[in-house]
Amino acid sequence: MTLKNQFDIPLYRLNSNYSSKVYNCGKWVDGIKIKELEEKIKDFLDIKYIVLTNSGTSALLAAYWVLKDEYKTLNVDPYTFPATYQPAKLLSYEINFVRTILKNNVNLPKNELNVITHLFGQPNQLLAKTRRIPFIEDACQSFGAKYKGKNVGTFGKLGCLSFYPTKPLHTNGHGGAVVTNNKDHFEKLKIFIESGRLNGKMTERIALNLRMDEIKAEFLLYELKNYEKRIACQRQIAQGFKNLITGEQPFLKEDKDSYHVYSVFNILVENRKEFRKYMGKKGIETMIYYNEDILPVGEKPKYLDLTASIVAIPCRWNLTNQEISKIKNALKGWFV
């Protein structure tokens, strides 16, 4: 028995016409789909090397592993899913929480590792301040987003991606990747995520098995075919919604240097409780993404300006025209 969503317009609609050929062939690991997907993503991102992983969290763990002998401290904005920094804790990095989100006067340390997170599909403007700064990118929510014409995830030493079902490019379950232009980093990544092997030969290095399987890769290839068209559609829908929303909306901003993919359409509203009730009565699902619970206890008071008013509404490429009109009318009724 399937449970029906109580909303006419849910935040996510994860249906698919995908039909697997790999599933019935028995070649579920180390097949041709992994290699094909690697080449497709490298071409898409214009990057030299990629290692596919079984999740975005595994991608971040592998990235921190590669750099752990160079850096002991990680600077991170805690307003992100904890997977951004928890793997670094596991590897004994000292975590330094620094509020960078919506702050224009932040200077990143030059002798410590920094992680720049591209939240909600929006390129992080900290990329403008990264000259000679060591950093990696958590681009798990922002595949296809760009800054000055270049894909996010390809600016830092390493870029981490997630293909979880709610991400803009997704597979049928968990999945991830690390991308880089550094051959030495690539080889260390391969060894770490492939049980200590490099080019099929065992090494003595410490390692895990964090690989992606063929079925996940096959699904991603299917989703990647029309990805740019879907994102263009999603951006068009987002623009129509943005035109109806008043007030300062930092998570919807997009200047001439940025290309936003709107993986989560987050707005700031006064009287959020009433707004959610209002939208719910119209059959439109909303979600608090992220609330204060996402933050470490000591950081919660610093983000009340966001956590008290942030709310996500549906904005996805597979909304029907009728659903788009219904959401627009609801926004007009609230904001206009």
3-state helix, strand, coil in the chain (%, to 5): 35, 15, 45
**32-224 adopts what CATH topology?**
Aspartate Aminotransferase; domain 2 (3.40.640)
Tens digit of each residue's pLDDT (9 = 90 or more) over 97-109: 999 998 878 888 8
Best CA proximity match to 170, nearest among 140, 193, 147, 150: 140
Name which of 94-108, 192-206, 238-252, 289-303 the model is least confident about: 192-206
Write down the domain spans for the chain: 32-224, 227-335
Report the pLDDT value the prediction gives residue 119, as an integer from 0 to 100: 97
Tens digit of each residue's pLDDT (9 = 90 or more) over 208-257: 999 999 999 999 999 999 999 999 999 999 999 999 999 999 999 999 99
Terminal CA-to-CA distance of the chain, rounded, Å?
41
Report the pLDDT value the prediction gives residue 3, as an integer from 0 to 100: 45
Give dist(CA 175, CA 194) in Å, integer: 15
**227-335 adopts what CATH topology?**
Aspartate Aminotransferase, domain 1 (3.90.1150)
Across the range 256-284, mean pLDDT stands at 97
- pLDDT for residue 1 is more than 70: no
- Of the pLDDT bands very low, low, confident and very high (cuts 50, 70, 90), residue 200 is confident
- Of the pLDDT bands very low, low, confident and very high (cuts 50, 70, 90), residue 198 is confident
Residue type, 153: G
